[in-house]
Amino acid sequence: MTYTNFLSGQLSSKGTVGKKAWEWGKSQGFSDQQLKVAVQQLAQAGVGVNNAPGQFFNNGGPMRGVAGIASPKNPLGKYQGRGGNLGLNYYTQARNEFSASEIGELLPASGMYLPQRAQTQWNFDMQRENQTNLMNAQREAMDAQNAAMRDQMDSMLAMYEKKNSTVSKAAPYSVGTGGNASLKAADASKKKSKSNVRSDWNRGGAGFQSSLNTGAASSVASSAASKSLNV
């Protein structure tokens, strides 16, 4: 089946693409990019192009410098449909390479527009892409917030541990309360008790005087008993 596009009906009497086709296309409002790609498509299908010396497209003619089907300045050119625009079928193919937003950005460089069905699909794809981007942005914001909270908690924990470490190094082993203090109090009580005992038995102390009195009484009683036996 012979390839045809919107310029196929404007060939010369010899069946070639020339001035007639180009001027007709311009009169219909097609862009230079659309016309050049259409001429290239026909040439790839075997249709002759009037590019010989003296002919319309010699040395490129009006197509010279225009971004064509393989130009990096016209990435969507290879997806141009038979009607000269990016219809639904070719739009679907282009979506395998570009996102919906990228296609929207690249369309002006191609000189094409989206026909109704392709426009409807593009609107749907853009809505879905925007929703996805919004969800990703929210997820990234949440991840960043969680990371900031973890960093803050780690910082607080480090300060807490540093503070406890400083207090532990500065404080003595015995703080005056608890079991150690009780042991010290008991030890002091024992020392006081021993001191009181020694004090009582010192000469002149109550213990010493009590001992003397007890001895004297015993001596008197013994003497009395001796006297009674003697009597």
Name the one residue in this structure whose structure tokens are 């249709």.
Answer: 47
Lowest mean per-residue pLDDT among 6-20, 28-42, 78-92, 144-158 = 144-158
Question: Can you tell me the distance from the alpha carbon of 61 to that of 73, in angstroms, rounded to the nearest whole number?
Answer: 19
- The percent helix, strand, coil of the chain (3-state, each to 5) is 70, 0, 30
Categorize the per-residue pLDDT at 220 as very low, low, confident or very high, splitting at 50, 70 and 90: very low
Residues of the chain with pLDDT > 70: what percent? Answer: 71
Mean per-residue pLDDT, 138-145 = 89
Nearest-angstrom CA–CA distance, 8 and 198: 136
pLDDT digits (tens, 9 = 90+) for 142-194: 899 899 989 988 988 888 888 888 766 665 555 555 555 555 555 656 555 55
Neighbours of 81 (CB within 10 A): 19
Tokens of 185: 């109090």
92: pLDDT strictly greater than 90 = yes
Query: Would you say 86 and 80 are in contact if contact means Cβ atoms under 8 Å apart?
Result: yes
Encoding tokens for residue 223? 């003497």
Q: Which residue has the tokens 């971004």?
A: 67
Least confident residue range of 21-30, 75-84, 102-111, 204-213: 204-213
What pLDDT does 158 receive? 87
Is pTM, for the whole model, over 0.85? no
Q: Specify the pLDDT at position 188.
A: 59
169 or 119: which leads in pLDDT: 119
Cα 7–Cα 8–Cα 14 angle in degrees, nearest 5: 115
Better-scored residue on pLDDT, 151 or 212 = 151
Mean pLDDT estimate for the chain: 83
CA-closest candidate to residue 117, choices 79, 150, 90, 157: 90
16-25, 42-51, 161-170: least confident range = 161-170
For the segment 122-128, the average pLDDT, to the nearest whole number, is 98
Higher pLDDT: 216 or 186? It is 186
Largest CA distance in the chain: 188
Residue 196 has pLDDT above 60, yes or no: no
* Mean pLDDT, residues 65-72 taken together: 97
